Structure 1
Amino acid sequence: MASFYLENMMVCIILGFKALYMSLLFVAVTSSSATIPKVFDVQSYGAKGDGKTDNTNAFTNAWKDACAYNGRSRVYIPRGTFYLGGVTFKGPCSGKISFFIDGTLLAPSNNDDIKSDTWISFQYIDYLTITGSGIIDGQGKESWPHDECYKHDKCPLLAMNMGFDFVNNSRIKWITSRNSKAGHFNFFNVDHFNVTDVTITAPGDSPNTDGIKIAFSSNVQISNTHIGTGDDCIAILSGNTNFDIYNVTCGPGHGISVGSLGKSKEEKNVEGITVRDSVFTGTIAAVRIKTWESSASTIAISKIVYENIQMVDVESPIIIDQTYCPFPPCEKAGDSHIQVQDVTLKNIWGTSRSKVAVNLECSKSFPCKDIQLIDINLKNNGPGGPATALCENVKGSARGTMVPPSCLN
């Protein structure tokens, strides 16, 4: 009798373990199916990676199906060279969506064939990921000779490689952007956006090829990224707040700039920008704030930090320019009305190609205030003797190592 009860007990235990195992297996399978995205391969929609077939329709159709899918989805671009005309990918989407590029996306060499100011545009999307080992090739070489924006502001706009409008809680990782006709990545009205491990390249003499341009955005992180281009590595424009930019290498290029600002009446304040732990090599500028001299707007640039910055033969390592005039001669209709305040420049060292290594040229009507220089060590590698500092209309303080000697009172 005892053995009978023992056998029954063992059977119950085994059945219990089996039930528990099946339950755990069901949870694991369900969980797995919930986390693995459904793949929408552009080749299944007729895309050809031969470098000449226009794949715009195939990409658009793959996006529409992926965006409508009720769950995690992935638009997949395999290895190959996929020629793509101007295209816009719109949301909102039903779930989290990724755009996974393993191949090369090739723009039309003729800017007129894109018919837009942005070659590849993403709009009104939450939880978007752009990733993969692929390349976005803007084929800008043919268009650069026709860019006369450095002469006047009435020039026709060339297409940027990729743009994001009203895209939130999203990220770009690992992608390479090269030879854009104009800027590489443009962000407008994005929130909680992460750019990491991205490579951006164009020749140093390619006009207006900003690496990253951002306006009216918040909570942006840019890290572990290399940018070498013909204009600003990063241009932080109107209405931006709460940026953390770190481990960026910039060169060639015009530095990481706040501005230019003051050209438009619709501009908003810029606040809470940190640039840290970065290296500038052979750039025209590095630490840079620039506002138009005769500004149309009256806004503030505040709570700006540049910290732990290395300069390697930079032409103008530190510059605040409130007489910005990219299309000289400029008609002078008054001083800049942009208030630059609460700016900290800390632990900045290296070499300058010009004698004036620190140039703080602020507005007479709205002098810069609360400018802090802490541990600056910049040596002149060019002609003219030791590095110097120039200050106009600036109120602030300096402490720690100060090479060149501070010009602040």
Structure 2
Amino acid sequence: MAHCCTVLTGLLVWSLFMLSWCEASRNNINRYDHSYGTFKSNSLIKRRDDITRLKSVARASLRLPTTVSVSDFGAKGDGKTDDTQAFVNAWKKACSSSGAVNLLVPEGKTYFLKSLRLNGPCKSVLTVQILGTLSASQQRSDYEDLSKWITFDGVNSLTVDGGATGTVNGNGAETWWENSCKRNEAKKCTKAPTALTFYNSKNLRVNNLRVKDAQQIQISIEKCSNVQVSNVEVTAPADSPNTDGIHITNTQNIQVSNSIIGTGDDCISIESGSQNVQINDLTCGPGHGISIGSLGDDNSKAFVSGVTVDGAKLSGTDNGVRIKTNQGGSGTASNIIFQNIQMENVENPIIIDQDYCDKSKCTEQKSAVQIKNVVYRNISGTSASDIAITFNCSKNYPCQGIVLDKVNIKGGKASCSNANVMDKDGVLPQCKST
């Protein structure tokens, strides 16, 4: 760390030295005459003073961050003792401090937590280092809000890093999944917590984190902007209900990269209000694939634009890349690219469904979310069903500007209705526009 700081300091000082030299030369270029000796001397003195000042600034800017450990506030980490209040107290200290602060969850321990809401804004530039395991309570009474377990709310410039060992364990199997109406239709449908929620935050980083067995959604990113998620691993059984891996809604400028997701619902789900979503190098399976939607449910207006999935491997999933919208909705899903994707034994490799319905009774309606400008490029693999490509679009709002380019999916046919489709090069199976 010290070596790194020394190198950074040297680079900063060198850069600013050169800037100072150029500025002095520019300011004095028209004064190059017999007073040159005096100019040169004064210039060097000024540069020496500038460098001294800049070294001081560099040392201050590269000062090691303050560490606040949950252990210092009484967290036991024995997996049984309730550590919730210790986390709250440690958060208050870290959030209210100035400068760079690391909130440390030590390695090798398991911290039992009830519902936990960590609010901003914070004075500090905060990094939460989760090196141990966070373990969720299975008692419904331990949740003030049954839809959330751990929530970061209104915290800008936040980094959450799991290092090599950090794990968030929702313990969903016994209480939450077993009582889900999705597993047992005789059960009443009730809320279940999202394991990890980031809400109303800017400049968010989530790195090197493992999330497993969430009560419901694993990671939800809501109403955020400028987000990077990388090297995240999400795991849950294929039959775990509603356990979306990463759920994105009302969020702009987000990149998800180099991540592995295997779960019981969508690996990544993208909902209304999301713009400029970049997904790179994703491994998905089991799960329901990569989904945009559902959009327009309960006759609502929905907008999604600028989604790019570039580089993904999907294996044994219920769907591959899917756009799903409800009848009766309105708005648009546009400017979407799916490219450089490999699929193995996927049920519905490419699918657009404008008649999606997850209710017990659905009626045909005239309005629909308009889907337009969608490109499928360099996609290959095998279909586990008879239909490899499905474009089930609205009669009143047919899909516009659908492009298939170098798509080769074996084992199934294409079924297309109400879709304006262009087959560019090497497309199998081919989809005829209707």
When normalised by structure 1's length, the TM-score is: 0.89
**In 2, Cα distance between equivalents of 1:404 and 1:25:** 64
Tell me the SS of whatever aligns to 1:66. Answer: helix
- Counterpart amino acid of residue 124 in structure 2: G
Give the counterpart of 2:381 among 350, 374, 378: 350
Structure 1 residue 212 and structure 2 residue 237: aligned? no
**Contact residue 162 and residue 210 of structure 2 kept, 8 A:** no
- From the superposition, tell whether residues 333 and 377 of structure 1 become closer, same or farther in structure 2 (CA, over 3 Å): closer
Match of 1:15 in 2: none
Match of 1:124 in 2: 154
- Counterpart amino acid of residue 332 in structure 1: T
**In 2, Cα distance between equivalents of 1:320 and 1:190:** 27
Give the counterpart of 1:104 among 114, 127, 133: 133
Match of 1:393 in 2: 418
Deviates more, 1:107-116 or 1:183-192: 107-116
Match of 1:303 in 2: 335
**Contact residue 272 and residue 302 of structure 1 kept, 8 A:** yes
**Contact residue 262 and residue 336 of structure 1 kept, 8 A:** no
**In 2, Cα distance between equivalents of 1:234 and 1:301:** 16
Q: Which runs of 5+ in 2 are unaligned?
A: 1-47
**Contact residue 291 and residue 336 of structure 1 kept, 8 A:** no
Tell me the SS of whatever aligns to 1:146. Answer: coil
Alignment of 1:144-155 (within 5 A): 144-149=177-182, 155=189
**CA-to-aligned-CA distance 1:35-88 (integer Å, 9 cap, x gap):** x21111000000011001111111001111111111111110002000011000
Q: CA deviation at 1:367?
A: 0.6
Q: CA deviation at 1:325?
A: 1.7
**In 2, Cα distance between equivalents of 1:21 and 1:291:** 60
Q: Which runs of 5+ in 1 are unaligned?
A: 1-17, 381-386
**In 2, Cα distance between equivalents of 1:101 and 1:122:** 14
Q: CA deviation at 1:403?
A: 1.1
Alignment of 1:9-88 (within 5 A): 26=56, 29-33=59-63, 36-79=64-107, 80-88=109-117
Tell me the SS of whatever aligns to 1:327. Answer: coil
Tell me the SS of whatever aligns to 2:81. Answer: coil
**Contact residue 119 and residue 161 of structure 1 kept, 8 A:** yes
Give the counterpart of 2:401 among 344, 362, 370: 370
- From the superposition, tell whether residues 334 and 282 of structure 1 become closer, same or farther in structure 2 (CA, over 3 Å): same
Structure 1 residue 324 and structure 2 residue 360: aligned? no
Match of 1:339 in 2: 370
Q: CA deviation at 1:402?
A: 1.3
**CA-to-aligned-CA distance 1:126-168 (integer Å, 9 cap, x gap):** 1000002300000000110111157699721100100011011
Q: CA deviation at 1:396?
A: 2.3
Give the counterpart of 2:268 among 230, 234, 253: 234
**In 1, Cα distance between equivalents of 2:400 and 2:297:** 22
Count of matched residue pairs: 381
Tell me the SS of whatever aligns to 1:183. Answer: coil
- Counterpart amino acid of residue 349 in structure 1: S
Tell me the SS of whatever aligns to 1:96. Answer: strand
Match of 2:220 in 1: 186
**Contact residue 168 and residue 191 of structure 1 kept, 8 A:** yes
Match of 2:347 in 1: 315
Q: Whose helix fraction is larger, Structure 1's or Structure 2's? A: 2
Match of 1:408 in 2: 433
When normalised by structure 2's length, the TM-score is: 0.84
Match of 1:172 in 2: 206
Tell me the SS of whatever aligns to 1:402. Answer: coil
- Counterpart amino acid of residue 247 in structure 2: K
**Contact residue 180 and residue 187 of structure 2 kept, 8 A:** no
Tell me the SS of whatever aligns to 2:201. Answer: strand
Tell me the SS of whatever aligns to 1:52. Answer: strand
**In 1, Cα distance between equivalents of 2:156 and 2:203:** 6
**Contact residue 378 and residue 405 of structure 2 kept, 8 A:** yes
Match of 2:193 in 1: 159
Q: CA deviation at 1:19?
A: 10
Match of 2:118 in 1: 89
Tell me the SS of whatever aligns to 2:241. Answer: coil
**CA-to-aligned-CA distance 1:194-235 (integer Å, 9 cap, x gap):** 100000000000010000111111000000000000000011
**Contact residue 101 and residue 126 of structure 2 kept, 8 A:** yes
Aligned alpha-carbon RMSD (Å): 2.0
Structure 1 residue 258 and structure 2 residue 289: aligned? no
**In 2, Cα distance between equivalents of 1:187 and 1:280:** 22
**In 1, Cα distance between equivalents of 2:152 and 2:131:** 19
Query: Percent identity, aligned pairs only?
Result: 39
Match of 2:34 in 1: none
**In 1, Cα distance between equivalents of 2:416 and 2:51:** 74
